[in-house]
Homo-oligomer: A and B are copies of this chain.
Amino acid sequence: MDRLDREILRLLQNDATLSVSDIAEQIGLSSTPCWRRIQNLEKLGIIKKRVALLDAEKLNLGMTVFVQVKAAQHDINWLGRFAEYAAGIEEIVEFYRMSGEYDYMLKVVVADMKAFDVFYKRLVGGIELSDVTSSFAMEQIKYTTALAI
């Protein structure tokens, strides 16, 4: 993981459609060694996947909600069931175990308040939670998948 690898990652996490020769040119290398570096970064799992990012607004998924929950039981089995349950719910796009007052933070993307209500009922109906609080995003000011490397 030298400087050139980092430059490759920086380019690819902003635009995965760049051709190997484009990248090679930008970092000052010929195609093949550049291609080999990219292959290696993929083999190491540093590049996890390449995905298309969609416009949530245009797909009528303009509502983002942060849902904080407290565990009903503080045992590992409960977490396992919750994790498995959440993995299957497409509206939950991010899910973290947290320190502090609330045990879990979910980021949920839905169409509108009505859709959120459907999701909410499904969430609380599917697993026992002791406390749930929802914070609604009114505006997305920044969203990036690019890490500071």
Contacts and interface: CB of A to CB of B under 8 A. Distances in A.
Contacts of A66: 66, 96, 98, 105
B54 A136 contact: no
A127 interface: no
Given A95-B141, A148-B109, A53 B59 contact: no
A16 B9 CA distance: 16
A94 interface: yes
Contacts of A59: 9, 46, 147, 149
Contacts of A50: 15-17, 50-53
Interface in A1-56: 9, 12-17, 44-56
A58 B80 CA distance: 24
Interface residues of A, number: 59
A30 to B, nearest CB: 21
A76 to B, nearest CB: 12
A140 B96 contact: yes
Contact of A142 (B95, B110, B138): B95
A61 interface: yes
Contacts of A100: 135-136
